[in-house]
């Protein structure tokens, strides 16, 4: 086979793969004023952008999306110390795993799976009494904007939401894609031949990141240009799209060579060889086994599972409350299916209605033991039956009873109460009541509806 034949053959597999565009243009969208919550971003683009064409890629800074979607923390003061304290608290809330820390600087993994400084919490390009958080669902935000553009202007564009990130081995930051719609984010060229007949074995091109970085040449933090148009990448006005959004850009834990910072990796290595480490207790062993056996349904489920297992891998004391960086807890959603009710306790410290549960104790051999003990102690119902497979995982920051910031890695189980069971309030609760699972009280934990939905699905499957 000649080199010409090879070139023709490899490009005939997919005309969007490996073929360079003859001309690419990057156009800034100028004239934007201050973007605020509730603004119609598609309508603003329609006003200020040059005429859009099918196959254009709109690259929108995450800050613009965060502002429109109201992902802002507004303080009553612009005092720098109070703002920094609020920023650190926000980083706690957005972090599922600390990758590396040097003084106040933290490199964190977010619920999206992103690894970046300060969990994406940003104090730039917002008012001096505000902080910006990353969009809750960048892929969803990108898709929503794409559909709005198509509806208002009748053009088929792709949308990339970008944010600035650092990179291993390299100084400086560059923009990368955190949300993608209408475009294949990664071109996988493994298995193809180059023009010399060499088999490509590892080549995966992060196209969405390349586009985001290129667009930042006409955007940037100091120019008040939050949006750029990248033109010339489409073949006949059409961009390749696998519908995966930005998921393919997230590297899994098993392939991540930079999962920990240097100091954290050294410390973990010391722990792995037993330097200053005790043997993992039976509860810890069970926690790893139980959580690893869970089958994640959503991307967030998978990321939480990785975060839990990563933390357990780093700390053999992760099941005990004296582990200040965080520790496992076990809770139980107690339900009476015959009455379609759920038992909730009014937590004295957080002031919310939540499921029963709490810290693990030395006598607990398994996570289920811990959840069952806590449920029986706090409900006063001895004849509870439990599903041994957890309903789900939840990670939330809080201040412990000693006044120290920590995190609860909560493993949530389903418990069934006998018909007509009468609960008895304990001294760990302000109140304890049955509620219809379709009519939860005011002041309920925000996670309860989703947890009850999972429990009902589990019950229907029995």
pLDDT digits (tens, 9 = 90+) for 78-107: 999 999 999 999 998 898 888 888 777 888
pLDDT for the residue 385:
93
Residues 457 and 346 in one domain: yes
pLDDT per position as a tens digit, 167-199: 888 899 999 999 999 999 999 888 899 889 898
**Domain-located, residue 309:** no
The CATH number given to whatever domain includes residue 18 is: 3.30.1330.100
**Domain-located, residue 31:** yes
Residues 166 and 58 in one domain: yes
Residue after which a domain boundary falls, among 210, 229, 245: 245
| Nearest residue to 254 via CA among 302, 294, 190, 205 | 302
Phi, psi of 42, deg, nearest 5 = -65, -40
DSSP E strands in 103-235: the ranges are 105-110, 115-117, 130-132, 158-167, 170-181, 187-188, 204-205, 227-231
Owning domain of residue 25: 3-71+135-245
Residues 228 and 344 in one domain: no
| 205, 259, 318, 347 from 406: Cα distances, Å | 39, 21, 12, 17
Tokens of 277: 């480490």
Confidence of residue 269 (pLDDT cuts 50, 70, 90): low
Tokens 């790893």: give the residue: 288
DSSP E strands in 235-352: the ranges are 327-336, 341-346
Cα separation, 409 vs 95, in Å, equals: 12
pLDDT for the residue 177:
97
- Is the model more confident about 268 or about 441? 441
Residues 60 and 186 in one domain: yes
Contact 65, 36 (CB under 8 A): no
**Domain-located, residue 257:** no
The answer to whether residue 3 scores a pLDDT higher than 90 is: no
DSSP E strands in 270-384: the ranges are 327-336, 341-346, 353-354, 356-359
CA R_g for the chain: 25
Would the pTM count as exceeding 0.75? no
Cα separation, 309 vs 336, in Å, equals: 32
**Domain-located, residue 231:** yes
The CATH number given to whatever domain includes residue 440 is: 3.90.79.10
Cα separation, 331 vs 381, in Å, equals: 15
- Alpha-carbon torsion, ordered 54, 59, 63, 66, to 10 deg: 40
Residue after which a domain boundary falls, among 194, 212, 245: 245
Highest mean pLDDT among 38-52, 244-258, 298-312: 38-52
Cα separation, 301 vs 378, in Å, equals: 28
Cα separation, 121 vs 139, in Å, equals: 18
Pairing of strands 170-181, 105-110: unpaired
Cα separation, 386 vs 196, in Å, equals: 62
Helices within 114-181 (DSSP H only) = 138-153
Tokens 């955007």: give the residue: 219
Contact 71, 132 (CB under 8 A): yes
Q: Could you give the number of structural domains in the chain?
A: 2
The answer to whether residue 276 scores a pLDDT higher than 50 is: no
Confidence of residue 210 (pLDDT cuts 50, 70, 90): very high
Counts of helices then strands in the chain (DSSP H, E)? 11, 19
**Domain-located, residue 314:** no
Residues 43 and 151 in one domain: yes
Residues 30 and 165 in one domain: yes
pLDDT for the residue 57:
98
Residue after which a domain boundary falls, among 245, 264, 288: 245
Cα separation, 170 vs 182, in Å, equals: 30
């Amino acid at each position: 086979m000649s080199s010409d034949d090879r070139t023709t053959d490899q490009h005939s597999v997919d005309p969007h793969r490996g073929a360079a565009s003859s001309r690419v243009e990057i156009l800034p969208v100028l004239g934007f004023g201050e973007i605020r919550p509730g603004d119609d971003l598609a309508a603003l683009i329609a006003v200020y952008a040059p005429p859009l064409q099918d196959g254009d890629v709109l690259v929108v800074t995450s800050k613009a999306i965060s502002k429109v979607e109201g992902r802002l923390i507004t303080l009553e003061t612009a005092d720098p110390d109070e703002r920094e304290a609020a920023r650190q608290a926000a980083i706690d809330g957005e972090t599922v795993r600390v990758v590396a820390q040097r003084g106040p600087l933290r490199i964190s993994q977010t619920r999206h799976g992103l690894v970046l400084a300060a969990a994406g919490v940003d104090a730039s390009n917002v008012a001096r009494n505000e902080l910006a958080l990353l969009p809750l669902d960048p892929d969803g935000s990108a898709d929503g904007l794409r559909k709005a553009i198509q509806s208002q202007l009748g053009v088929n564009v792709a949308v990339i939401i970008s944010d600035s990130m650092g990179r291993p081995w390299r100084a400086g930051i560059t923009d990368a894609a955190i949300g993608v719609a209408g475009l294949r984010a990664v071109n996988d060229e493994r298995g193809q031949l180059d023009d010399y007949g060499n088999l490509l074995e590892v080549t995966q091109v992060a196209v969405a990141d390349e586009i985001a970085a290129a667009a930042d040449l006409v955007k940037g933090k100091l120019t008040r240009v939050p949006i750029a148009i990248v033109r010339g990448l489409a073949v006949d006005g059409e961009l390749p799209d696998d519908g995966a959004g930005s998921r393919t850009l997230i590297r899994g834990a098993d392939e991540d060579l930079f999962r920990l910072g240097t100091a954290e990796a050294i410390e973990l290595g010391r722990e792995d060889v037993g330097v200053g480490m005790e043997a993992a207790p039976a509860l810890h062993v069970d926690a790893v086994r139980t959580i690893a056996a869970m089958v994640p349904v959503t991307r967030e489920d998978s990321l939480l599972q990785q975060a839990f297992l990563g933390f357990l891998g780093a700390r053999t004391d992760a099941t005990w409350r004296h582990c200040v960086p965080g520790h496992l807890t076990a809770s139980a959603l107690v339900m009476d299916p015959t009455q379609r009710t759920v038992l909730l306790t009014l937590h004295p410290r957080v002031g919310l209605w939540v499921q029963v549960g709490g810290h693990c104790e030395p006598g607990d051999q398994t996570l289920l033991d811990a959840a069952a003990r806590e449920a029986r102690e706090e409900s006063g119902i001895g004849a509870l039956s439990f599903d041994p497979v957890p309903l789900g995982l939840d990670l939330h920051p809080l201040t412990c009873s000693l006044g120290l910031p920590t995190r609860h890695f909560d493993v949530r189980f389903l418990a069934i109460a006998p018909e007509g069971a009468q609960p008895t309030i304990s001294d760990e609760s302000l109140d304890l009541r049955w509620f219809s699972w379709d009519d939860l009280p005011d002041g309920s934990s925000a996670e309860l509806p989703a947890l009850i939905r999972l429990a009902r699905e589990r019950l229907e499957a029995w």
